[in-house]
Structure 1
Amino acid sequence: MAQAKVLNPTELRRVLDYIATRRHSARNRAMLLLTHYAGMRVAEVAALRLNDVLNSDSTIKSEVRLMPQQTKGKYARTVYLNEKIQKELALYINSIRMLDMSKPLFRTQKQAGFSANSLTQYFFYLYRNVGLTGCSSHTGRRSFLTGLANKGTAIHILKSLAGHRNISTTAAYLYSSPAQLKAAVELA
């Protein structure tokens, strides 16, 4: 199976512009950007609860501690939230009325949370509706890791951010464009 497409900033903007025209735009934007700005897996996004992202004073946490049952490998890990995603989460949370902190952060129209499968399908159709081919639920995560690698982030840091146990797993996520390869050769 082919790897998910890595989006450039223009393509991500197209997706966000499309989301802005649809219902539940604050929710859908926050879900998408958790994959692009924090590198979260779709199943991890679906498993989030309000108390995972909110401090006791109702501010957004800068770190989210995922419990083993929320992660792919069943290992607890910390996800770091940059200022951009913290602002997105604050906008989304301010747009909803949620009293029960243990309920799913991202609710469906039926007031239940997304399953990993339903959120995977949402992302597939989202990218398809925007006209982007080769995208999947892993596009955000792969774009996140590749973008950081292109900015010089060491692979052992990327491994930790991704929650991988092995660097070879992380290396498989990274995409090298012909332009990057040409630029690297010029460093010699």
Structure 2
Amino acid sequence: MIGQTAKVLGGADIRRALRHASRRRDAQRSAVIILLSVKAGLRACEIARLTWRMVTDTRGRVATTIELPNRAAKMGSGRRIPIHPTLRSALVKLQCGATDCGPVIRSQRGGAMTPDAIVNWFASLYRELELQGCSSHSGRRTFVTQAARQVGKAGGSLRDVQILVGHRSLKTTQGYIDGSEDAQRRLVRSL
């Protein structure tokens, strides 16, 4: 994968990954890791640094947004990310087993997982699923691509996608977006 762009996951790939996760001993944690990547666009380091305080409201309940501070984000790119309903539901289930305000994603020994451990976790998942060309960045690329395709329907622009993923440059965001020949054909036909 070094030097290559991570593959964007299709809907069937995501469903397979979540089904696979549901059969694991750490099913709830596994589902949240996947969903933080594909439904919130978080990087491996951001998943590892995410704490319950960043995803809960003042009453300790799972909030409607992730409040990712600069210290938890790459290059100080902290941001507020609305929580997708599927991710929120998974966080609520995982929270039932949480004992404090510490890390959302804990290692099997109970401590915070490192960014490298998250990267390795994704590598193992995609190897088990035989998904070639996927890495820990595949979920993030999937999030950016899907957001870019839907942003016009939501009344937004690529700038909104850029803000959601914490890129300083729109050019960086554009590099994440996977093209679609079908969409290009539909677009040309609509002109």
Which category of TM-score, normalised to the shorter sequence, fits these structures? over 0.9
Identity, in percent, stands at 28
Q: Which residue of 2 aligns with 1:168?
A: 171
Alignment check: 8 A CA contact 2:77 2:167 kept: no
Say which of 64, 68, 71 aligns to 2:70: 68
Aligned partners of 1:97, 1:29: CA distance in 2, in Å? 15
Aligned partners of 1:163, 1:76: CA distance in 2, in Å? 7
> For 1:1-188, what aligned pairs fall within 5 Å after superposition?
1-94=3-96, 96-98=97-99, 100-101=100-101, 103-153=102-152, 154-188=157-191
Aligned partners of 1:29, 1:60: CA distance in 2, in Å? 16
- How many residues were matched structurally? 185
Report SS of the residue matched to 2:186.
helix
Q: Which runs of 5+ in 2 are unaligned?
A: none
The C-alpha deviation readout for 1:136-169, integer Å capped at 9, x for no partner, is: 0011111011112122442111101111111000
How many Å apart are 1:22 and its aligned residue? 1.2
Scaled by the length of structure 2, what TM-score is found?
0.92
Aligned partners of 2:32, 2:64: CA distance in 1, in Å? 15
How many Å apart are 1:13 and its aligned residue? 0.6
Aligned partners of 1:129, 1:183: CA distance in 2, in Å? 35
One-letter code aligned to 2:85: E
Aligned partners of 1:179, 1:24: CA distance in 2, in Å? 38
RMSD over equivalenced CA pairs, Å: 1.3
Alignment check: 8 A CA contact 1:40 1:79 kept: no
How many Å apart are 1:24 and its aligned residue? 0.3
Alignment check: 8 A CA contact 1:43 1:116 kept: yes
Scaled by the length of structure 1, what TM-score is found?
0.93
Aligned partners of 2:82, 2:44: CA distance in 1, in Å? 16
One-letter code aligned to 1:58: G
Q: Which runs of 5+ in 1 are unaligned?
A: none
